[in-house]
């Protein structure tokens, strides 16, 4: 599997309302951190996040998290 594009070297901290969200896993979306279909033709697929109550979330910006779509601090180990 190829490496995703680092969209930003820190998480996207967002206040989300209940609903379904599709996190960009490839890093190519122009609508970060959400998928816009830019993964087409790659092995990457968006990851669905379902929010059942309003909450603050930290979605991974570097796309290297082991806990997709949430940030796990993996950005701290990336070469910049």
Does residue 1 belong to any structural domain of this protein?
A: no
Around Cβ 17, how many Cβ atoms within 10 Å? 9
Instruction: Tell whether 73 is covered by a domain.
Output: no
CATH number, domain at 44? 3.40.5
Q: What's the domain count of the chain?
A: 1
CA gap 74, 36 in Å, rounded: 23
pLDDT in tens, the chain (80 residues): 689 999 999 999 999 999 999 999 999 999 999 999 999 999 999 999 999 999 999 999 999 999 999 999 999 988 75
d(CA 23, CA 60): 9
Question: Is residue 80, in this structure, part of any structural domain at all?
Answer: no
> Minimal CA–CA distance to 62: which of 45, 49, 77, 41?
77
Parent domain of 50? 13-58
Q: Is residue 27 part of a domain?
A: yes
Count of all residues that appear for the chain in the document: 80
């Amino acid at each position: 599997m190829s490496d995703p594009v680092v969209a930003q070297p820190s998480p996207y901290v967002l206040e989300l309302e209940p609903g379904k969200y599709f996190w960009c896993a490839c890093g190519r979306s122009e609508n970060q951190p959400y998928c816009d279909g830019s993964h087409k033709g790659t092995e990457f697929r968006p990851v669905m996040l379902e929010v059942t109550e309003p909450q603050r979330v930290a979605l991974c910006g570097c796309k290297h998290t082991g806990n997709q779509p949430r940030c796990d601090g993996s950005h701290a180990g990336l070469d910049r």
